[in-house]
Amino acid sequence: MSIERALISRSGSKCELCGSTNDLQSYEIPPDSDGSLDQTILLCDTCRTQIDQPDQVEPNHWRCLNDSMWSQIPAVQVMAWRMLNRLRAEGWPQDLLDMLYLDEETQRWAEATGEGLGDSETTQHVDSNGAVLEAGDTVTLIKDLNVKGANFTAKRGTAVRGISLVQDNPEHIEGRVNGQQIVILTKFVKKSN
């Protein structure tokens, strides 16, 4: 069976990202596809064009990733992750990225082009109001937080002094509450003056 036929069978004759049934073609996942079924997906012309030509991306077309990112096919997951990263400035894709889980091997594959990684050095930790957080800042909790494993609730209004930033996740900071070092989501704090 040819790759094209196998893709049509696997996808039900639909684009594996947006579900369109028009102008379908196989697409080998860059950068190092070996042309196998596992490293190829079936795409419509619209998806293919926008993937290959980032200047022609229409963000609303990619709302389809809300469904296709849950595919059990790693190649589809990889392309969904890459497009969500490319569109993360739109706002809504970041919410989907926060929900998307890729196993380690698939995550490495998704990151193989370097897309979505170049901005990691410029990524900033920001509080619930958008203020930039820095190591050593004092923040105030804006919500009661149940601290897992420590059997206490960090109360709203609690000041957390001398925070540290979690380098690989801009949504996490660390600080001491009730003598315990805990990880806190930045969306639940505001920077103190």
8 and 88 together in one domain: yes
160 and 93 together in one domain: no
> Is the CB of residue 3 less than 8 Å from the CB of residue 37?
yes
Q: What is the C-alpha separation between 77 and 69, in angstroms, rounded?
A: 5
Q: What is the C-alpha separation between 20 and 10, in angstroms, rounded?
A: 14
Number of independent structural domains in the chain: 2
124-154 per-position pLDDT tens digit: 889 998 888 988 999 999 999 998 887 899 9
Q: Is a pLDDT exceeding 60 seen at residue 105?
A: yes
64 and 93 together in one domain: yes
**pLDDT (mean) for 96-106:** 92
Q: Is a pLDDT exceeding 70 seen at residue 177?
A: yes
12 and 84 together in one domain: yes
SS3 163: coil
How do the residues of the chain divide into helix, strand and coil, expressed in percent and rounded to 5? Answer: 40, 20, 40
**pLDDT (mean) for 42-65:** 93
73-86 per-position pLDDT tens digit: 999 999 999 999 99
1-45 per-position pLDDT tens digit: 689 999 999 999 999 999 999 999 999 998 888 889 999 999 999
51: which 2 tokens?
């993937």
165 and 107 together in one domain: no
24 and 114 together in one domain: yes
46 and 103 together in one domain: yes
One DSSP character per residue, 118-138 reads GGGGT---B-TTSPBP-TT--
Q: What string of H, E and C letters represents the secondary structure of 56-108?
A: HCCHHHHHHHHHHCCCCCHHHHHHHHHHHHHCHHHCHHHHHHHHCCCCHHHHH
40 and 102 together in one domain: yes
**What confidence score (pLDDT) does residue 135 get?**
87
Q: Which domain holds residue 101?
A: 3-121
List own/partner pairs for 97-105 with CB under 8 A and 24 or more apart.
98/171, 99/69, 100/69, 102/77, 102/78, 105/74
Would the pTM of this model clear 0.85, i.e. be above it? no
The CATH number given to whatever domain includes residue 164 is: 2.30.30
99: which 2 tokens?
């929900």
**pLDDT (mean) for 90-94:** 88
- 134 domain residue, yes or no: no
- 82 domain residue, yes or no: yes
**pLDDT (mean) for 99-111:** 92
Higher pLDDT, 120 or 5: 5
- 16 domain residue, yes or no: yes
47 and 79 together in one domain: yes
Round the average pLDDT of the chain to a whole number and report it.
Answer: 90
Among the candidates 74, 93, 121, a domain finishes at 121
Which range among 32-36, 121-125, 186-190 has the greatest average pLDDT?
Answer: 186-190
**What confidence score (pLDDT) does residue 61 get?**
95
Q: Is a pLDDT exceeding 80 seen at residue 181?
A: yes
114 and 144 together in one domain: no
Q: Is a pLDDT exceeding 80 seen at residue 123?
A: no
